[in-house]
Amino acid sequence: MLEDLTQKLETVFQKLRGYGTLTEKNVADSMKEIRRALLEADVNYKVVKDFVSSVQDKAIGQDVLRSVTPGQMIVKIVHSELIDLLGETSTQIKIAGIPPTIVMLAGLQGCGKTTFAGKLAQFFRKKGRHPMLVAADVYRPAAIEQLKVVGKSLDIPVYSEDSGEPVKICSQAIAEARQQTCDLLILDTAGRLHIDDEMMRELEEIKEKVKPHEILFVADGMTGQDAVNSAKEFCTRLEFDGIVLTKLDGDTRGGAALSIRAVTQKPIKFIGVGEKYDAIEQFFPDRMASRILGMGDVVTLVEKAQETIDQEKAARLEKKILKQDFNLEDFFDQLQQIKKMGPLDQLLGMIPGVGSQLSGMNVDDRSFVSIEAIINSMTVLERRNPKILNGSRRRRIAMGSGTSVQEINRLLNQFGQMKKMLKNMRRMPRKGMGNVPFNMG
Amino acid sequence: MVKLFNRLQASLKKTREGTFKKLNRIFTAKRKIDDDLLDEIEEILIAGDVGVETTLDIIDKLKQRVRDEKYETSDELECLIRDEIKNILIVPASQDKQGLQIVLVVGVNGTGKTTSIAKLAHKYKSEGKSVLLAAADTFRAAAIEQLSVWAERVNCEIIKHQDGADPSAVVFDAISAAQARSVDYLIIDTAGRLHTKSNLMAELTKIFRVINKRIPDAPDQVILVLDASTGQNAVNQAKEFQQVARVDSIFLAKLDGTAKGGVVLAINKELQIPVKYIGTGEKVDDMEEFDPGSFVEGLFVKE
């Protein structure tokens, strides 16, 4: 996500950093390019206008032209303005004093409300809450059925009625939640156009009668200039508390994030980054700004690692590395853990400097497949002691895994290098569990 | 019929009231053509999701013609813009094949594929043709049920397997059924997929291959469903889908909102994929054939 914008801005910055001194023309030119990059990323043109002019004002005010590193100064200004635009701090969902906490989702058709409802439920269950989903979309064919399927596959209760008023369904769901001791209620409302007065009134009515603690506006991350219109209307009608952006795992430049935030002044709380139910991330403005500017996002990466990597296994692995008997079995284990953390290209994008180099390359989880196949075709003995792999064993493994002897050699080489690296690491002071080698070739 | 026309007018009106009403206001003001005016036009086009490149292209051509042909006031400019936009828009080729027509419908998640399919089915039915639907979206929760409900409403038959089945197998069965029952149209609903997911795109290639194997030259039409509110990413979507599945035309859905769907211009210009239909609401007959000429004309009606 956002790679294109990142890349374009980086080109501008590189040019800027290259100048020893900046002329006003340099600055004006780069502002023009920034403007274009943002517009191409679907940021609303009014928002772009304001953004560029405020960067320009600050640049002039801070005597950028006379500073020692003028280019760097402008990058800094853009970065801080971007954070400003995205909102200062990350905001959490309000939890009600008396359960259940009611979270209401609203948005246009096809923005991904139902999928997000599942993700949110899963997100909170991981945090120890007991969510319940409420099917309040009585209009779209099979919408209730869809939520039921989502609930079933996540093993989360779903409250639904075959027909009836959404307002009534929601009210009854509260009683049901109390009965089942669920402390979090997620209302999945029908998608609707912001200009459909009748449907918008229904949302107002739900808000009034059910009094949700949190209303989230769900928006498709690929939305163009129109994002501001729908967001503004939903905001005035509902006064929602936060924004959710979905489908950010494509190659959209996600300008809608900036636009919606700018016109509503509401915080973006979550982003959806995939089809699986754990593909949900809390939104951190500063991290996102860094990502947009190609500075990487190490914090999220580390958190992801902590969330998915089995601590016990990690400890065992550390011991093994210390004793220098790290073998292919452990290597295989690590691969599985990295895979659990999420799609490889997303992970790599979070490493500073990698994001922009990655564009155009098709990093795919399938680069793991042949490695896995090779290791799976080895005997236990071979995995534990790769040294015994002679020519005929390698040929057999190549046949078994559908690869070639060359590929096996390459893997073994890499593995050898990694072992060497780990040996060196042993001498370095260690901090926590920093031993996830990313040397996949 | 009158109702139909009114509805089209009403939905076009929103588009008009957005981008093009602003245009009209500029034009009727009898202003002199200067950089300010051109900047304003540029802004309006960009705000309609036309995209930076296409917009600058249009503006450049305008400037050129203003210089060469010595236009002076803003209302003269109106015809020029109309001209340029019409030049970009492509007219879809009409199809008059006899026998079974296979229509494959593709798109990213949430653009309105299933609803659009219902509309297409309804249209073919009302033309007196027989229609068979294939529920090849076996991935999304309850997608099959959703299509089944529509099938019942428009009164046509449907071929479906259970959730999680191989979509290619559904397609294979559907083609056999379509041939055995000698229907006129087979419309295939596929799962929404982001164009960046290579494995899902490969699945689409497979569906395409299966169809091709059963009937060479099929599918007869591949329709890409686009959400009118999508921004410049729609160009990428069209590009990627065209690579794996060949895209013959676009169904521009959800044009009843305030979205302007201007990205269609960029797609026409860059990829030469014409827009064939527009979706204008949630009911089965909320659909119109897209006609570039009258579309642009309609947009410029002064109120």
pLDDT digits (tens, 9 = 90+) for B39-89: 888 888 888 888 888 899 988 988 888 888 888 777 778 778 888 888 888
**Domain end residue (candidates: B35, B59, B88):** B88
Asked whether residue B16 falls in the same domain as residue B109, the answer is no
Which of B154, B233, B240 should one mutate to test binding to chain A, selecting the residue with the greatest count of A CBs within 10 A?
Answer: B233
Contact B149 A193 (CB under 8 A): no
Contact B43 A45 (CB under 8 A): yes
Nearest by CB: A193 against B163, B234, B257: B257
Asked whether residue B117 falls in the same domain as residue B82, the answer is no
Average pLDDT over residues A240-260: 86
- Could you tell me the pLDDT band of residue A120, with boundaries at 50, 70 and 90? very high
pLDDT of residue B106: 95
Asked whether residue B142 falls in the same domain as residue B69, the answer is no
Structure token digits, residue A288: 């996102």
pLDDT at residue A103 tops 90: yes
Average pLDDT over residues A60-78: 69
Which of B218, B224, B221, B216 is CA-nearest to residue B251? B224
Range of lowest pLDDT (A44-48, A348-352, B103-107, B124-128): A348-352
Nearest by CB: B194 against A147, A226, A249: A249
pLDDT of residue B296: 63
B17-22 contacts: CB < 8 A, separation 24 or more? Answer: B18/B48, B18/B258, B18/B260, B19/B44, B19/B45, B19/B47, B19/B48, B19/B260, B19/B262, B19/B299, B20/B299, B20/B300, B21/B303
Range of lowest pLDDT (A174-178, A350-354, B113-117, B176-180): A350-354
- Percent of chain B predicted with pLDDT > 90: 42
> What are the residue boundaries of the structural domains of chain A, listed by start?
3-86, 101-295, 302-427
Which of 3.40.1390.20, 3.40.30.160, 3.40.50.300, 1.10.260.30 is the CATH number of A302-427?
A: 1.10.260.30
CATH class for domain A101-295? alpha beta
HEC readout, B168-228: HHHHHHHHHHHHHCCCCEEEEEECCCCCCCHHHHHHHHHHHHHHHHHCCCCCCEEEEEEEC
Buried b (16+ CB within 10 A) or exposed e, B184-215: bbbbbbbbbbbbbbeebbebbeebbebbeebb
A306 touches A314 (CB < 8 A): no
Range of lowest pLDDT (A313-322, A323-332, A344-353, B229-238): A344-353
Instruction: Kindly give the interhelix angle for A45-61 and A70-86, rounded to the nearest 10 degrees.
Output: 140
B181 touches B132 (CB < 8 A): yes
Backbone φ/ψ region at B99: left (φ over 0), alpha (ψ -120 to 50), beta: left
Distance CA B18, CA B10 (A): 13
Nearest by CB: A141 against B43, B108, B149: B149
Q: Residue B94 domain-assigned? A: no
Residues of chain A with Cβ-Cβ distance to B52 below 8 Å are 36, 39-40
CA distance A32 to chain B (A): 12
- Could you tell me the pLDDT band of residue B257, with boundaries at 50, 70 and 90? confident
Which of A61, A59, A62, A1 is CA-nearest to residue A30? A59
Asked whether residue B41 falls in the same domain as residue B112, the answer is no
Least CA distance to B256: which residue of chain A?
A: A193
Average pLDDT over residues A70-82: 78
Residues of chain A with Cβ-Cβ distance to B241 below 8 Å are none
Asked whether residue B130 falls in the same domain as residue B76, the answer is no
Asked whether residue B12 falls in the same domain as residue B113, the answer is no
Residues of chain B with Cβ-Cβ distance to A223 below 8 Å are 229-231
pLDDT of residue A86: 81
Q: Residue B300 domain-assigned? A: no
pLDDT of residue A430: 44
B95 touches B127 (CB < 8 A): no
Average pLDDT over residues B255-282: 86
Q: Residue B40 domain-assigned? A: yes
**Domain end residue (candidates: B37, B53, B88):** B88
Q: Residue B111 domain-assigned? A: yes
More confident residue, A59 or B285: B285
Average pLDDT over residues A91-106: 88
CA distance B278 to chain A (A): 16
Asked whether residue B82 falls in the same domain as residue B143, the answer is no
pLDDT at residue A359 tops 80: no
pLDDT of residue A129: 92
Least CA distance to B40: which residue of chain A?
A: A45
Which of B14, B57, B59, B229 should one mutate to test binding to chain A, selecting the residue with the greatest count of A CBs within 10 A?
Answer: B229
Residues near B171 by Cβ (< 8 Å), separated by ≥ 6?
A: B134, B136, B188, B207, B210, B211
Residues near B188 by Cβ (< 8 Å), separated by ≥ 6?
A: B102, B103, B104, B105, B133, B134, B136, B171, B174, B207, B211, B219
Find the helix or strand (DSSP H, E) in which B133 lies.
Answer: strand B131-136
- Could you tell me the pLDDT band of residue A298, with boundaries at 50, 70 and 90? low
Residue B217 lies in domain: 101-291
Contact B145 A247 (CB under 8 A): no
Which of A82, A84, A83, A86 is CA-nearest to residue A34? A82
Nearest by CB: B229 against A150, A153, A226: A226
Domain of B266, CATH number, reads 3.40.50.300
Find the helix or strand (DSSP H, E) in which B247 lies.
Answer: none
Contact A142 B142 (CB under 8 A): yes
Asked whether residue B67 falls in the same domain as residue B107, the answer is no
The pLDDT tens digits for A130-147 are 999 999 999 888 899 999
Contact B260 A41 (CB under 8 A): no
pLDDT of residue A322: 67
CA angle A155, A182, A242 (to 5 degrees): 90
Question: Average pLDDT over chain A, rounded to whole?
Answer: 81
pLDDT of residue B161: 93
B207 touches B166 (CB < 8 A): no
Number of residues written out for chain B: 303
Contact B230 A364 (CB under 8 A): no
Q: Residue B22 domain-assigned? A: yes
pLDDT of residue A433: 39
Asked whether residue B142 falls in the same domain as residue B257, the answer is yes
Distance CA A219, CA A198 (A): 20
A249 touches A222 (CB < 8 A): no
**Number of domains, chain B:** 2
Nearest by CB: B229 against A145, A149, A223: A223
Which of A2, A33, A40, A109 should one mutate to test binding to chain B, selecting the residue with the greatest count of B CBs within 10 A?
Answer: A109
**Domain end residue (candidates: B88, B123, B146):** B88
Range of lowest pLDDT (A161-170, A245-254, B268-277, B287-296): B287-296
More confident residue, A435 or A180: A180
- Could you tell me the pLDDT band of residue A429, with boundaries at 50, 70 and 90? very low
Q: Residue B168 domain-assigned? A: yes
- The fold for domain A3-86 equals Four Helix Bundle (Hemerythrin (Met), subunit A) (1.20.120)
Nearest by CB: A146 against B141, B198, B234: B141
Average pLDDT over residues B95-120: 90
Asked whether residue B81 falls in the same domain as residue B218, the answer is no
Nearest by CB: A195 against B49, B231, B257: B257
Q: Residue B296 domain-assigned? A: no
CA distance A41 to chain B (A): 7
Q: Residue B25 domain-assigned? A: yes
The pLDDT tens digits for B193-229 are 888 888 888 999 999 999 999 998 889 999 999 998 8
Domain of B76, CATH number, reads 1.20.120.140
Contact A42 B232 (CB under 8 A): yes
pLDDT of residue A245: 92
